[in-house]
């Protein structure tokens, strides 16, 4: 390949000798989108992927399925669809299968759809429209939603739209492109890059995005155009393999970034992300999947978080830190007073925590008039099971105690709500607040204290105890605690790489 200046982006209109030669000598067909589906033993999902392509509103496409040496019914599934081109190769991995599809493609544009994912019907139309508006870009990308093995849409964190400096964003750790199907490539970009690198499995997508955004402009939009499926055979489930490969792909950028201070700063941030944050995120994601599959949707779950509220994001279930602050007794802290009124609860409602608001009245404000639980949830799109009633049902004998909203959205920052109260008879009232589920701020001093924390949280209503893998040291350091828990409570989940879940509802 001819040499070029280090920081000069190549012109997509000028073709260097291609690294992945197209089939035959014919140039790509204008406006044709080649959709490549690599498949290895995903016959159970493949028909859904194929049909999602055939249902596209943009009709100028070809569909190529590359069978990567599958031993299941992949070939039989493809035979049902006469318009689909079937290519077989000996098993060589997903990257190789994608490159095979690239060589076989005839389109001006390319989309790589994994066999267990799906395109939404407008995906290609949106991609082509964006590419026509941004013809200088090597690829355009959008957003996806997450589904389970049955196709049910799952809650997921909000995806960010990156408007500029895409290379810096990728270099800083993680990928804003959640699944490969949301990207539509110009075929010409593969004249300059070497396709997918099999050595970077299973993060060959991330590696490719780094290599492309380093040299070419790209564009991202915020339309949801694909579905990413989470299931037990995902290649992204092995955290140690993913971490090792991601660090290799990231490290491959060093020679390019070392002479640029901004790039080096982003590189260092990305290194820390892949070494520290990513393993935690994947563990939390796996715990969330386990909880969703194994525990009732209204379960009350205590989690040995070490104070990390990220570990309380369990799809709307009420979750508490373990261990918790032990209340000193009494009604709690005085929040407000008066016969009636409204007040904004400041930004201290945290995700996974429940706050008890108690309204007292009577001659000496000693009579409990009403009590309300206010809970914080990590994702405002989730519906939590909360012990709260509609405002119109809170008023009894003239007494009113309610909050809006409840549950309170509390993502990266604590949430805010507004509380309204009325003693009902014009008498003086006092409103107290206390916390349930607030992290104790320290680990137990010994097994006896750990057991006291456990019984306290059971008395408050916790039904399950989750001990994540990064807290397994509890079971080594607190031997009496371990013996007690193992003897009395059934482990409904025991995954040595993720977590142990004990059922606290009944003791043996």
Q: What is the DSSP string of 121-134?
A: TTHHHHHHHHHHH-
Note whether 194 and 303 are same-domain residues.
no
Phi, psi of 311 (to 5 degrees): -80, 0
Q: What is the DSSP letter of 276?
A: I
Note whether 366 and 482 are same-domain residues.
no
Note whether 340 and 478 are same-domain residues.
no
> Which residue range(s) make up the domain with 486?
295-323+440-503
Query: What's the domain count of the chain?
Result: 3
Structure tokens at 393: 């049902």
What counts of helices (H) and strands (E) characterise the chain?
A: 14, 22
Note whether 213 and 69 are same-domain residues.
yes
Tell me the longest C-alpha to C-alpha distance in the chain. Answer: 94
- Write the burial class of residue 222 (CB in 10 Å: 0-12 exposed, 13-18 middle, 19+ buried): exposed
User: Could you say which of 403, 436, 469 is where a domain stops?
Assistant: 436
Q: Please name which of 222, 34, 56 lies closest in space to residue 141, comparing C-alpha atoms.
A: 222
Q: Please name which of 332, 328, 327, 295 lies closest in space to residue 314, comparing C-alpha atoms.
A: 295
Residue 243 lies in a domain: no
Note whether 48 and 87 are same-domain residues.
yes
Residue 236 lies in a domain: no
Q: Please name which of 475, 493, 364 lies closest in space to residue 429, comparing C-alpha atoms.
A: 364
CATH of the domain at 43: 3.90.550.10
Q: What is the DSSP string of 174-232?
A: S-S--SGGGEEEEGGGGGTS-S--GGGTT-HHHHHHHHHHHHS--EEEEEEEEEEEP-T
Q: What is the pLDDT of residue 283?
A: 85
Pairwise CA distance, residues 64 & 71, whole Å: 19
| Cis amide linkage into residue 407, ω under 30° from 0 | yes
> Do residues 311 and 302 make contact, with C-beta atoms less than 8 angstroms apart?
no
Q: Which residues pair with 501 in a beta bridge?
A: 466, 493
Structure tokens at 410: 């509390």
Pairwise CA distance, residues 418 & 346, whole Å: 9
Q: What is the pLDDT of residue 312?
A: 78
Structure tokens at 328: 């000193």
Q: What is the DSSP letter of 464?
A: E
Instruction: Tell me the CB-side half-sphere exposure of residue 196, using CA atoms within 13 A.
Output: 24
Which residues lie below 8 Å from residue 162, measured CB to CB, with a gap of 6+? 169, 176, 220
- Give ∠ CA 462-464-466 in degrees, rounded to 5: 120
Structure tokens at 475: 């079971």
Q: Which residues pair with 302 in a beta bridge?
A: 320, 465
Collapse the DSSP code of 147 into the 3-class scheme (helix H, G, I; strand E, B; otherwise coil) and give the result.
strand
User: 15-33 in b/e burial notation, b at 16+ Cβ within 10 A?
Assistant: eeebebebeeeeebbeebb
pLDDT tens, residue by residue, 36-88: 999 999 999 999 999 999 999 999 999 999 999 999 999 999 999 999 999 99
Which residues lie below 8 Å from residue 159, measured CB to CB, with a gap of 6+? 143, 144, 176, 178, 222
Note whether 68 and 151 are same-domain residues.
yes
- Write the burial class of residue 339 (CB in 10 Å: 0-12 exposed, 13-18 middle, 19+ buried): middle
Q: Which residues pair with 219 in a beta bridge?
A: 140
Note whether 196 and 61 are same-domain residues.
yes
Q: What is the mean pLDDT of each run of 10 residues along the chain (508 residues)?
A: 42 41 64 97 97 98 98 97 97 96 97 97 98 97 90 76 91 90 97 92 94 96 93 64 87 93 93 84 84 88 84 76 67 81 78 78 85 73 38 61 85 79 89 72 87 89 92 91 94 90 88
> Do residues 54 and 83 make contact, with C-beta atoms less than 8 angstroms apart?
yes
Phi, psi of 164 (to 5 degrees): -155, 170
Phi, psi of 462 (to 5 degrees): -65, 135
- Write the burial class of residue 459 (CB in 10 Å: 0-12 exposed, 13-18 middle, 19+ buried): exposed
Residue 78 lies in a domain: yes
Note whether 191 and 217 are same-domain residues.
yes
Q: What is the pLDDT of residue 33?
A: 98
User: Could you say which of 198, 231, 264 is where a domain stops?
Assistant: 231
Note whether 97 and 151 are same-domain residues.
yes
Residue 267 lies in a domain: no
Residue 120 lies in a domain: yes
Query: Model-level pTM?
Result: 0.66
Look up tokens 């008879």; give the residue. 425
Note whether 206 and 312 are same-domain residues.
no
Residue 122 lies in a domain: yes
Residue 253 lies in a domain: no
User: Could you say which of 231, 249, 277 is where a domain stops?
Assistant: 231
Residue 480 lies in a domain: yes
Collapse the DSSP code of 281 into the 3-class scheme (helix H, G, I; strand E, B; otherwise coil) and give the result.
helix
> Do residues 215 and 10 make contact, with C-beta atoms less than 8 angstroms apart?
yes
Beta strand pairing call for 118-119 and 219-229:
antiparallel
Q: Which residues pair with 140 in a beta bridge?
A: 184, 219
Note whether 398 and 494 are same-domain residues.
no
Note whether 43 and 65 are same-domain residues.
yes
């Amino acid at each position: 390949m001819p040499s070029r200046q280090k920081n000069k982006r190549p012109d997509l209109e000028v073709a260097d000798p291609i690294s992945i030669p197209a089939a035959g000598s014919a140039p790509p067909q204008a406006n044709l989108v080649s959709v490549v589906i690599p498949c290895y033993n995903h016959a159970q999902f493949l028909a859904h992927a194929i049909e999602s392509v055939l249902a596209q509103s943009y009709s100028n496409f070809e569909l190529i399925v590359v069978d990567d040496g599958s031993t299941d019914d992949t070939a039989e599934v493809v035979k049902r669809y006469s318009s689909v081109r079937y290519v077989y190769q000996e098993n060589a991995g997903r990257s190789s299968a994608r490159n095979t599809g690239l060589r076989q493609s005839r389109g001006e544009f390319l989309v790589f759809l994994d066999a267990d994912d799906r395109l939404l019907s407008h995906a290609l139309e949106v991609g082509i429209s964006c590419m026509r508006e941004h013809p200088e870009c090597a690829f355009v990308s959008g957003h996806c939603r997450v589904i389970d093995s049955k196709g049910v849409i799952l809650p997921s964190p909000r995806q960010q739209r990156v408007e500029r400096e895409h290379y810096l964003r990728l270099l800083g750790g993680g990928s804003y492109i959640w699944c490969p199907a949301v990207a539509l490539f110009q075929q010409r970009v593969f004249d300059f890059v070497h396709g997918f690198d099999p050595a970077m499995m299973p993060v060959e997508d991330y590696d490719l995005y780094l290599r492309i955004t380093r040299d070419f402009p790209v564009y991202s939009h915020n339309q949801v155009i694909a579905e990413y499926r989470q299931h037990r055979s995902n290649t992204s489930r092995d955290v140690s393999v993913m971490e090792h490969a991601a660090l290799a792909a990231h490290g491959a950028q060093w020679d390019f970034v070392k002479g640029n201070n901004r790039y080096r700063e982003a590189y260092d941030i990305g290194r820390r992300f892949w070494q520290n944050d990513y393993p935690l995120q994947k563990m939390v994601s796996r715990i969330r999947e386990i909880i969703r599959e194994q525990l009732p949707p209204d379960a009350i779950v205590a989690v040995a978080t070490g104070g990390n509220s990220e570990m309380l994001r369990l799809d709307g279930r009420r979750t508490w830190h373990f261990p918790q602050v032990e209340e000193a007794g009494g009604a709690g802290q005085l929040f407000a007073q008066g016969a009636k009124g409204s007040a904004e609860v400041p930004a201290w409602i945290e995700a996974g925590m429940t706050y008890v608001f108690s309204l007292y009245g009577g001659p000496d404000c000693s009579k409990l008039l009403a009590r309300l639980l206010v809970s914080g949830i990590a994702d405002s799109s989730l519906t939590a099971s909360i012990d709260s009633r509609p405002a119109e049902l809170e008023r009894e004998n003239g007494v009113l105690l309610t909050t809006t909203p409840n549950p309170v959205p509390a993502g990266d920052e604590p949430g805010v709500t507004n509380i309204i109260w009325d003693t009902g008879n014009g008498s003086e009232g006092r409103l107290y607040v206390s916390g349930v589920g607030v992290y104790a701020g320290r680990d137990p001093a010994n097994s006896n204290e750990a057991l006291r924390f456990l019984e306290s949280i059971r008395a408050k209503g916790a039904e399950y105890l989750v001990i994540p893998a990064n807290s397994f040291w509890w079971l080594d350091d607190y031997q009496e605690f371990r013996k007690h828990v193992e003897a009395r409570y059934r482990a409904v989940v025991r995954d040595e790489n993720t977590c142990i879940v004990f059922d606290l509802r009944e003791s043996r």
